[in-house]
Amino acid sequence: MTAELKGWGEHEVPEGPGAVWEAGPLRLRLRRSAGELHVVPDRARVGREPRGPFDWPPEAGAPVWSRWAVGGVPPRVAVLPVLPDRPLVVQPEHPFHLPPGERARVYVRVPVWARLCLAASTRPILLEVPTVVLSNTSFGGYTECVLCYWCPTTARRTVEPELWAPHLVVCPLDLTNLSPVVLPVARLCLPVRHLGIYRQADRLWADPLDVRLPGATDPAEIRPSGTPPREAEGATLLSPPRETTQKGLTGWTFSALQALPGAALQSLPGLGGVKR
C-alpha cells in the first residue's frame, strides 16, 4: 500500500510501494530501493486516485524518475516550501488609488515551489518543483527589463479564510506613496527571492515587504522585513530566503508589462482563478 506523506516538513520514505506527497495541484511520488531514492512529479490528476507510484494515467505518458544515491543517509526527506526563483508580476483584482502620503497594506497569495531535501544536518537539496506552473513574462522599460513570472492572483486589503491553501503563501505588502500625485495600484513586481516563509499552524506567511513609491515612472524602494508579519503570532521560520540582503532593493513597480511570446496571461489550476 502506498504511504501518504502529509504536510511540509520531514518524512520517511518506506521501502516497497513507496509514498505520495501532495500540495495543491502538485503530487510527488517517491520510492526507495537498493540505496537509491527515486522521485517523480505528477500533475496529471484526471479525477482518479492512483493505485500506487507505478500506476500512471496513460494519457500522461511514461514518467521520468530522477534517481539519487542515498545509501549512506537515513531514509528520510524534507519537503519544504520556497518562493519562486524569479520576481513575480501581480495585480489586484480591483485596482485602487493611493493618494500622496498615504499608506496601504495589501495581501498577495503566491504559489510556492516544493523543495525536496535529504533530512540530514546539511539538508542537501535534491530538486525543486513549482506547485503551480506560472507563465513567463517580462517587466520594465525599454532600457531595463527583468524576466519574471506572471501570477494571476489577487491583492486583497484584508485577510479572509479562503486565502489559505497548503500550496499558497500570503505575502503582506506595505505600500507608501511618497510622490505628490495620486498613484494607481494596478500592477506590482515583487522580488520574492528575498522573502522567507513562516509557518503559523497550517498557514504559510512571507516576510512583509515595505514598498515606497516615489512616483509612477520611478523605481520603488523595497525592503523585506526579515521577520514574520504582525498577523502571524507565534509563527516560526520554515524556509529562509533564496537570497539575503542587508540593504534595500529597488524595482520597477509600475513599469510596462511585456508578455513574452507564448506566455498565456490567464488563471491557472491551483490558484482558483483571478476572482478568488
Q: Report CA-CA distances (Å) from 201 to 9, 80, 164, 233, 248.
A: 13, 15, 11, 10, 30
| 203 has a pLDDT exceeding 80 | yes
Task: Name the residue among 200, 211, 197, 178 with its Cα closest to residue 241.
Answer: 197
Least confident of 92-96, 106-110, 240-244: 92-96
pLDDT digits (tens, 9 = 90+) for 119-177: 776 778 899 999 998 888 877 655 567 788 988 777 788 888 877 899 999 999 999 99
Task: Supply the pLDDT for residue 102.
Answer: 94
Higher pLDDT, 172 or 90: 172
Reduced 3-state DSSP string for 26-70: EEEEEEEECCEEEEEEECCCCCCCCCCCCCCCHHHCCCCCEEEEC
Average pLDDT over residues 40-66: 55
pLDDT confidence band for 265 (50 / 70 / 90): very low
Task: Supply the pLDDT for residue 163.
Answer: 79
Task: Name the residue among 150, 148, 147, 164 with its Cα closest to residue 107.
Answer: 164
Write down the mean pLDDT value for the chain: 78
Task: Supply the pLDDT for residue 96.
Answer: 81
Average pLDDT over residues 176-187: 85
Q: Report CA-CA distances (Å) from 265 to 124, 153, 260.
A: 35, 11, 10
Cell output for 159: 485577510
pLDDT digits (tens, 9 = 90+) for 20-47: 999 999 999 998 888 888 899 887 543 4
Q: How far apart are CA 120 and CA 76, in angstroms?
A: 8
Average pLDDT over residues 95-105: 89
Q: How many CB atoms lie within 10 A of CB 25?
A: 18
Distance of CA 181 to the CA centre of its chain: 33
3-state secondary structure of 135: strand
| 73 has a pLDDT exceeding 50 | yes
Q: Where are the beta strands (DSSP E) in 73-177?
A: 76-82, 88-90, 96-98, 103-111, 113-118, 125-130, 135-140, 145-150, 155-156, 168-177
Strand partners, 212: 176, 221
Q: Could you state, in order of their start, the residue ranges of all structural domains in the chain? A: 3-79, 85-111+133-259
